[in-house]
């Protein structure tokens, strides 16, 4: 059963019925999914859904009760050292020995993994833009600098998989943006797979190519971001700002296959559902009837709305 | 193997890069300097030579007691500081088994204790030489060396105990507290219970091997070989518990 999947070389991370039980309560319950090379995947779920437990089981910080995690085909359970060799991680806040310099901290991790050269230290330092601060003691670092040093240590041994648990925790908006750009650049330049959990949904939306939603330790759904579904058959929701909403509603109401879901004569906004191909016709008709059009916008369900729908709101577990 | 020496270097640097690293050695220097000055001023009876001074002061009942205390302070932090700093998460997601990581920590804790023993011994001899400039006395270099050996054994036993407490409690304060408390109360306990023969199986009845040179054994019928076996059994127990717990523990 396992060998069949291992033969697929592009699978970097593979969860197979991963379960964590504390007492009789399953915190993570039979979770299975794969991540391929170069993918950036977000792990979503309400508080207490088991995101952190899942990520800590992947890197071996928490023991698994059942199932297994394979990284590049190596089992974390039975072959930990070989499996973890391919993983870099930041689990919650990046923490370092505060009384040592950034460089000394990186040297610590260099000594722990075979084949990490001094050139590699220099390379990752440059990648995260920390050349200047590397000689300073970590206790003098800002959170943003520690975050960058955290990325540097995670990349040091050229991992094939990055595990990031709430990597933007405690960062200000500028720090978050910076972090996101680093991660995107890294995924491209180093060609590695990234699994990231965050409670900032917009963050995940901007960073990931796929999200996996879990709730109460169970897999709920997976979906791609930036869908490839043919736009021609898709029913779109369009919001228009017009000169006169009442008139516009009358005009549009006569067209077949177009549904007016909302018309507000105070703001003169009208919301309609229709197919991609019908938009030019509507615009032409409205213009011909003398209805002024100020704006046409697509209304998209955000990941947040979808997330709420899937998990039934963010219940505190 | 190259890998493991890397771990040892890491652990040594974690100790030595701290500002407090030299404080332990400085304390020993100051204490022996004060002792030398006091002996020079008071010139007590029965102490006539460098060896007398060194042998007397390095004893557990004298300045030697500082060595295990300082060693315990460091051993307590070895694992607990990783929890405090949060670095345990980064430490345990490397291509190294938890057993190897813990072994490197324990070995460096013991090595550090031994450097304290050697430092204290050197200071004792130097201070003694400054006061007495050699001279002839009752003690021999063999006495001195055997006191050093006893001090080393005593220190290692309590380092091992403290190391285990650190792993079990994850608290630096608790490990230091229990380590030093047991050092002080242990010998008291043995004294109070010395008429029961079962007392000889207590760890604390066997930690000070220097008693076998003076024949003032805590409980009648004890021998050096007996104490060594008891100590080895306790150490094996402490280390088994340490490694088993550290291996299994979830880092949440």
CATH number of the CATH domain containing A272: 3.30.70.100
Do residues A153 and A258 share a domain?
Answer: no
Structure-block tokens of residue B60: 């557990």
Do residues A293 and A167 share a domain?
Answer: no
pLDDT score, position A169: 73
With CB atoms and an 8 Å threshold, state whether B94 touches A98. no
Question: Average pLDDT of chain B?
Answer: 92
Do residues A86 and A147 share a domain?
Answer: yes
In a domain, A310, yes or no: no
| Chain B residues closer than 8 Å to A81 by CB | 95-97
Do residues A191 and A241 share a domain?
Answer: no
pLDDT for A233 beyond 90: no
A74 by DSSP, 3-state: which?
strand
Do residues A135 and A262 share a domain?
Answer: no
Which alpha helices (H) appear in chain A, and where do they start and end?
Answer: 2-6, 51-58, 80-84, 102-112, 118-127, 143-155, 173-190, 201-207, 245-253, 279-288, 303-311
pLDDT digits (tens, 9 = 90+) for A258-298: 888 888 888 888 988 888 888 888 888 888 888 889 998 88
Do residues A241 and A213 share a domain?
Answer: no
Q: Which of A65, A63, A79 is nearest to A17 (CA)?
A: A65
Alpha-carbon distance A149 to A224, whole Å? 30
pLDDT for A246 beyond 70: yes
With CB atoms and an 8 Å threshold, state whether B14 touches A92. no
In a domain, A68, yes or no: yes
pLDDT for A4 beyond 60: no
With CA atoms as reference, the chain B residue closest to A155 would be B94
| Chain B residues closer than 8 Å to A93 by CB | 86
Q: Compute the nearest-CA separation of A69 from chain B (Å).
A: 14
B252 touching chain A per CB within 8 A: yes
A239 by DSSP, 3-state: which?
strand
Structure-block tokens of residue B246: 């550290």
pLDDT digits (tens, 9 = 90+) for A103-136: 999 999 999 998 899 999 999 998 888 889 999 9
Average pLDDT over residues A229-250: 80
Do residues A57 and A167 share a domain?
Answer: yes
Average pLDDT over residues B128-155: 89
Q: How far apart are the first and last CA of chain A?
A: 35
Going A275 to A280 to A281 to A287, the CA torsion angle's sign is positive
In a domain, A315, yes or no: no
pLDDT score, position A47: 81
Do residues A175 and A245 share a domain?
Answer: no
Q: How far apart are the first and last CA of chain B?
A: 30
Higher-confidence position of B58 and A6: B58
In a domain, A309, yes or no: no
Q: Where are the beta strands (DSSP E) in B76-187?
A: none
Do residues A196 and A269 share a domain?
Answer: no
pLDDT for B90 beyond 60: yes
Q: What are phi and psi of A72, to 5 degrees?
A: 50, 40
Alpha-carbon distance B8 to B112, whole Å? 12
Q: Compute the nearest-CA separation of B123 from chain A (Å).
A: 29
Higher-confidence position of A256 and B211: B211
In a domain, A308, yes or no: no
Average pLDDT over residues A80-95: 90
| Chain A residues closer than 8 Å to B19 by CB | 99
Residue finishing a domain among A180, A198, A224: A224
Structure-block tokens of residue A133: 């601060």
Q: Compute the nearest-CA separation of B245 from chain A (Å).
A: 13
Average pLDDT over residues A8-25: 89
Structure-block tokens of residue B187: 């010998």
Alpha-carbon distances, residue A13 vs A1, A71, A83, B221 (angstroms)? 16, 5, 10, 63
Question: What's the order of all strands across the beta sheet hosting A40-44?
Answer: A87-91, A161-165, A193-197, A40-44, A210-215, A218-224
With CA atoms as reference, the chain A residue closest to B86 would be A95
With CB atoms and an 8 Å threshold, state whether A97 touches B9. no
Range with the poorest average pLDDT among A186-200, B13-27, B152-166, B204-218: A186-200
Looking at the structure of chain A, the number of domains it has is 2
Structure-block tokens of residue A202: 């917009």
Q: What percent of chain A has pLDDT over 70?
A: 91
Do residues A99 and A137 share a domain?
Answer: yes
Q: What percent of chain B has pLDDT over 70?
A: 99
In a domain, A314, yes or no: no
Strand A210-215 relative to strand A40-44: parallel, antiparallel, unpaired? Answer: parallel
pLDDT score, position A2: 44
pLDDT for B116 beyond 80: yes
pLDDT for A221 beyond 70: yes
pLDDT digits (tens, 9 = 90+) for A303-315: 777 777 777 655 4
Q: CA angle, corner A237, sides to A234 and A243, nearest 5?
A: 140
* A contact test, residue of B89, B99, B108, B252 with most A CBs within 10 A: B89
Which alpha helices (H) appear in A49-191, and where do they start and end?
Answer: 51-58, 80-84, 102-112, 118-127, 143-155, 173-190
Higher-confidence position of A302 and A180: A180
Long-range Cβ pairs for the range A182-187 (8 Å, 24+): A182/A127, A182/A128, A182/A148, A182/A151, A183/A40, A183/A151, A183/A207, A184/A40, A185/A127, A186/A127, A186/A151, A186/A155, A186/A162, A187/A38, A187/A40
In a domain, A220, yes or no: yes
Higher-confidence position of B132 and A232: B132
Question: Average pLDDT of chain A?
Answer: 85
Q: Between B19, B87, B95, which is nearest A84 by CB?
A: B95
In a domain, A243, yes or no: yes
With CB atoms and an 8 Å threshold, state whether A92 touches B252. no
Q: Would you mind telling me the total number of residues written for chain A in this entry?
A: 317
Residue A57 near residue A69, CB atoms below 8 Å: yes
pLDDT score, position A174: 81
Residue finishing a domain among A198, A224, A250: A224
pLDDT score, position A232: 65
Structure-block tokens of residue B238: 């402490």
pLDDT score, position A82: 92
Beta bridge partners of A197: A43, A165
B244 touching chain A per CB within 8 A: no
Do residues A40 and A159 share a domain?
Answer: yes
Residue A242 near residue A265, CB atoms below 8 Å: no
Alpha-carbon distance A259 to A210, whole Å? 31
Residue A31 near residue A217, CB atoms below 8 Å: yes
Q: Between A91, A98, A104, which is nearest B89 by CB?
A: A91
Query: Of all helices (H) and strands (E), which one includes residue B32?
Result: helix B21-42
Report residue A172's pLDDT band, with 50, 70 and 90 as the boundaries: confident
Most confident of the ranges A27-31, A124-128, A202-206, B214-218? A27-31
A245: domain range? 235-298
Q: What's A186's domain CATH number? A: 3.40.50.300
Do residues A156 and A284 share a domain?
Answer: no
pLDDT score, position A317: 39
pLDDT for A230 beyond 80: no
| Chain B residues closer than 8 Å to A157 by CB | 95
pLDDT score, position A312: 66
Alpha-carbon distance A41 to B55, whole Å? 67
Q: Which of A191, A165, A144 is nearest to A152 (CA)?
A: A144
| Chain A residues closer than 8 Å to B14 by CB | 97, 108
pLDDT score, position B1: 55
B247 touching chain A per CB within 8 A: no
């Amino acid at each position: 059963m396992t060998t069949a999947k291992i033969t697929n070389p592009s699978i970097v991370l593979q969860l197979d019925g991963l379960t964590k039980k504390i007492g009789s309560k399953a915190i993570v319950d039979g979770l299975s999914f794969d991540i391929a090379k170069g993918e950036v995947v977000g792990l979503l779920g309400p508080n207490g859904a088991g995101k952190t437990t899942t990520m800590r089981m992947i890197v071996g910080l928490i023991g698994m009760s059942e199932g297994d995690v394979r990284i590049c085909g190596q089992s974390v359970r039975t072959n930990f050292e070989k499996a973890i060799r391919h993983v870099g991680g930041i689990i919650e806040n990046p923490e370092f020995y505060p009384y040592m310099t950034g460089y000394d901290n990186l040297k610590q991790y260099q000594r722990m993994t075979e084949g990490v050269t001094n050139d590699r230290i220099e390379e990752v330092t440059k990648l995260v833009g920390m050349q200047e601060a590397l000689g300073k003691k970590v206790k003098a670092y800002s959170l943003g600098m520690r975050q960058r040093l955290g990325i540097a240590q995670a990349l040091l041994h050229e991992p094939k998989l990055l595990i990031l648990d709430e990597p933007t925790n405690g960062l200000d908006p500028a720090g978050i943006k910076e972090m996101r750009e680093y991660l995107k650049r890294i995924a491209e330049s180093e060609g590695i797979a990234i699994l990231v959990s965050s409670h900032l949904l917009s963050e995940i939306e901007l960073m990931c190519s796929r999200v996996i939603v879990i709730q109460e330790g169970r897999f709920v759904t997976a979906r791609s971001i930036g869908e490839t579904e043919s736009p021609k058959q898709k029913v779109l929701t369009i919001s228009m700002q017009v000169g006169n909403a009442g008139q516009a509603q009358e005009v549009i109401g006569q067209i077949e296959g177009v549904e007016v879901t909302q018309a507000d004569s105070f703001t003169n906004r009208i919301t309609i559902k229709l197919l991609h191909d019908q938009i030019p016709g509507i615009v032409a008709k409205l213009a011909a009837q003398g209805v002024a059009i100020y704006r046409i916008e697509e209304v998209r369900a955000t990941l947040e709305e979808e997330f709420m729908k899937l998990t039934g709101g963010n219940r505190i577990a | 193997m190259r890998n493991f020496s890397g771990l040892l270097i890491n652990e040594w640097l974690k100790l030595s890069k701290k500002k407090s690293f030299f404080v332990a050695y400085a304390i020993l220097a100051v204490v022996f300097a004060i002792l030398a000055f006091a002996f020079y001023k008071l010139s007590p009876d029965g102490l006539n030579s460098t060896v007398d001074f060194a042998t007397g002061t390095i004893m557990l009942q004298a300045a030697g007691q500082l060595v295990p205390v300082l060693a315990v302070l460091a051993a307590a932090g070895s694992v607990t500081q990783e929890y405090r700093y949060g670095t345990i998460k980064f430490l345990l997601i490397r291509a190294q088994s938890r057993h190897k990581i813990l072994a490197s920590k324990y070995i460096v804790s013991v090595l550090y204790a031994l450097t304290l023993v050697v430092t204290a011994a050197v200071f004792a001899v130097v201070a003694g030489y400054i006061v007495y400039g050699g001279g002839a006395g009752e003690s021999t270099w063999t006495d001195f060396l055997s006191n050093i050996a006893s001090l080393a054994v005593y220190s290692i036993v309590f380092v091992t105990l403290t190391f285990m407490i650190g792993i079990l409690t994850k608290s630096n304060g608790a490990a230091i507290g229990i380590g030093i408390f047991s050092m002080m109360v242990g010998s008291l306990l043995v004294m109070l219970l010395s008429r029961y023969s079962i007392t000889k199986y207590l760890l604390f009845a066997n930690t000070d091997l220097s008693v076998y040179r003076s024949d003032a054994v805590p409980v009648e019928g004890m021998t050096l070989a007996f104490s060594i076996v008891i100590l080895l059994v306790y150490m094996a127990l402490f280390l088994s518990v340490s490694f088993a717990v550290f291996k299994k523990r979830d880092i949440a």
